[in-house]
Amino acid sequence: MKNGKIIVANTGDDSLTIIDLENWTKVEKWCLKESILFNKNINMQNIYLGPYEMEFDMAGNLYCANIYDNSILKINLEKKEIVDILAVGKYPTCIKYFENKLFVINSDSNSISIVDAENFTLEENIQVGEKPIDLEIDKKDKKIYIANYYGQCIDVIDLKNYGRITIKLKSTPVKMTIYNNKLLVLTNINNGNLNARNISNLCMIDLKNYGKKNIQNFSGILNNILKLEGREIVFATNMDSGYLYKIDIKRGNLLSKTYLSGMPNKLKWDGGSLLFITNISKNLLTLFDIKLNKVVDNIEVGKEPNSILLLN
């Protein structure tokens, strides 16, 4: 693309919001559902699409996983054209690109779909644990890690030979990130007591021997994390309370809590000073300066914004 863009997937109104990185006031809304209905060669399976998670490939194609239509879209963003639609499993919540393949988490089918990105065809479905919710790819060792929320475990699949092991957890995994041969895992702790306070936990798993190291428990239900590359700092969102947490994962310290209001959810970092955070209940994209530790702007987007993609 000629100019850098921020793309936001709006689940509630079947649209994408396209924002110019150099001019935040330049905002464009693209209704995906209308584009599909105008294309006689493409058909939805449902009356609602539900764009939720996005990915980009080396050829410049945008892929969008749709939780209500149980499908993924292949999009030429430069031409603003929907190339094709492909049915996958139920409630696809995560999509990742690696070596010309798309790996799609199907949360309500307890499976992952593997798609040939170039031909945009389904290669296979693999059954995993109960309620898969997140997926990370170890590109060096060619392994995928699938967090199973209800299964309280992480499935590890070797892409070289499809060998498989399962890492058992004591709480429900929500989000993961890989760095330096380690897997950082966010979990929510549920001890079965309705009157107990909500607790989230961060732990580290060594990818060489799968040994676990506890980092710290935190009050509240954290739903998303983002680690700053090259730093031992993680930002986490709390949809229940509306807070953004800044955490030192080396020392296990909560450095700050900033009230954003609403339901802050997904995060993306520009590699410099800005975090981009979608707010589901406020229909906003929040711009947060990590150096100043404060909100610098809010941009109105579509309904129920979820995934954020930065294209430079």
Range of weakest confidence among 98-112, 148-162, 190-204, 253-267: 190-204
Radius of gyration of the chain measured on its C-alpha atoms:
19
Strand partners, 199: 189, 219
Please tell me the predicted confidence (pLDDT) of residue 37.
83
- Is residue 1's pLDDT more than 50? no
- Out of 30-34, 233-237, 280-284, least confident range: 30-34
Residues 135/147, Cβ–Cβ less than 8 Å: yes
Q: For residues 107-120, give the mean pLDDT.
A: 97
H/E stretch holding 298: strand 294-300
Say which range, 74-78, 105-109, 283-287, has the weakest mean pLDDT.
Answer: 74-78
The answer on pLDDT for 58 being more than 90 is: no
Cα 123 to chain centroid, rounded: 23
Element (H, E) at 99: none
> Mean of the pLDDT values across residues 275-284?
98
Q: How confident is the model at residue 67 (pLDDT cuts 50, 70, 90)?
A: very high
pLDDT tens readout for residues 71-97? 999 999 889 999 999 999 999 999 999
Sheet holding 284-289: strands in order across?
A: 264-269, 274-279, 284-289, 294-300
pLDDT at 191: 54
pLDDT at residue 223, rounded to an integer = 95
Tens digits of residue pLDDT in 194-237: 455 789 999 999 999 999 999 999 988 999 999 999 999 999 99
Distance CA 227, CA 233 (A): 6
Which residues on neighbouring strands pair with residue 119, listed in sequence order?
A: none
pLDDT given for residue 193 in this prediction: 54
Calculate the average pLDDT of the chain.
Answer: 94
How far apart, in whole angstroms, are the C-alpha atoms of residue 134 and residue 148?
Answer: 8
Q: What is the pLDDT averaged over residues 151-161?
A: 97
Instruction: Scan for tokens 């998303």, then name that residue.
Output: 224
